[in-house]
Amino acid sequence: MATKRIVLFDEIRGTMIWCVVLYHLLYDLVYLFAVDIPWFGSAWTEWWQETVACLFIFISGCCCYFSRNNVLRGLRLLIVAALLSAATYLVMPQQMISFGIIHLLSLSVLIFALGRPLLSFIPPPFIMLGGLLLYYVTFPVCNGYLQFGTWNYSLPETWYQNSCWFWLGFPTANYYSADYFPLLPYLWIFLSGCGLGAYRSKDDYPFWAYQTHSKFLAFCGRNSLWLYLVHQPLLLAILSLIWQLPYC
């Protein structure tokens, strides 16, 4: 039996994609057009970027239960991610995205599709809380350690000497990606969202989660992939045009 669409998820995702647009606008102004924005790049903006990204990934995990074929969805995202890497390499190699958020989501969707039967045996609250806990523990994996409160556990240096494992969260010292979201720790945020999404089949959400509060944000949320793909070229084109105007 078909279940009702959780419009709130679309609206949250729509809000997050506009936060991404704003962040990239500021990033372009500071790092590509040399505009002085002193607070950009501070700890506050790093926290903002991480929060927006995690909410977007979390909601993407929730929305796996909207898809009729997550394998096909994951493969499509994987193709888009490959094209994105190729495009950034050809146009702006210094800003190449070798494993960004689209790459992460493509593999996460495929992992969910393969692991869904196993997840069905785990109570959703355990998936949600377990995912958040593992995200916290593995958050500093890219820096070579795990965190357990005030105690840190260093990972073997050899794990970071093979250039083939950057996608998992073990980049080499000279690895760079303009947008970098490896499986560790972000797969856990995605799976935590899947835990919340599991309630969809039972229509267990509050009534207001099914109501439309903003048609614009809901539309943006449903088309967030295309907005993500086109926003940066548009921003660069507009900013380049502005900077060429006489009064600039």
Per-residue model confidence as pLDDT tens digits over 165-217: 999 999 999 999 989 999 999 999 999 999 988 876 556 677 788 888 899 99
Where in the sequence is the domain holding 29, given as residue range(s)? 7-243
Tell me the pLDDT tens digit for each residue of 91-111. Answer: 888 888 999 999 999 999 999
> What per-residue confidence (pLDDT) applies to 221?
92
Tell me the pLDDT tens digit for each residue of 61-78. Answer: 988 877 889 999 999 999
Is the pLDDT higher at 62 or at 5? 62
State mean pLDDT over 225-247: 84
Confidence check: pLDDT of 15 > 70: yes
Residue 201 lies in a domain: yes
Tell me the pLDDT tens digit for each residue of 111-169. Answer: 999 999 898 899 999 999 999 999 999 999 999 999 998 899 999 999 999 999 999 99
State mean pLDDT over 40-55: 90
Number of domains in the chain: 1
Reduced to 3 states (helix: H, G, I; strand: E, B; else coil), residue 180 is strand
Residue 195 lies in a domain: yes
Residue 132 lies in a domain: yes
Residue 173 lies in a domain: yes
Residue 2 lies in a domain: no
> What per-residue confidence (pLDDT) applies to 248?
46
Look up tokens 């997050």; give the residue: 16
> What per-residue confidence (pLDDT) applies to 66?
77
- At 2, the pLDDT band (50, 70, 90 cuts) reads very low
Reduced to 3 states (helix: H, G, I; strand: E, B; else coil), residue 213 is coil
Asked whether the beta carbons of 106 and 77 are under 8 A apart, the reply is yes
Reduced to 3 states (helix: H, G, I; strand: E, B; else coil), residue 167 is coil
Asked whether the beta carbons of 239 and 33 are under 8 A apart, the reply is yes
Confidence check: pLDDT of 32 > 60: yes
Asked whether the beta carbons of 231 and 20 are under 8 A apart, the reply is yes
State mean pLDDT over 76-90: 94
Q: At 221, list the tokens.
A: 């949320």
Residue 24 lies in a domain: yes
Asked whether the beta carbons of 237 and 26 are under 8 A apart, the reply is no
Can you say whether the dihedral through the CA atoms of 124, 20, 24, 225 is positive or negative?
Answer: positive
Q: At 54, list the tokens.
A: 């995690």
State mean pLDDT over 44-51: 91
Residue 231 lies in a domain: yes
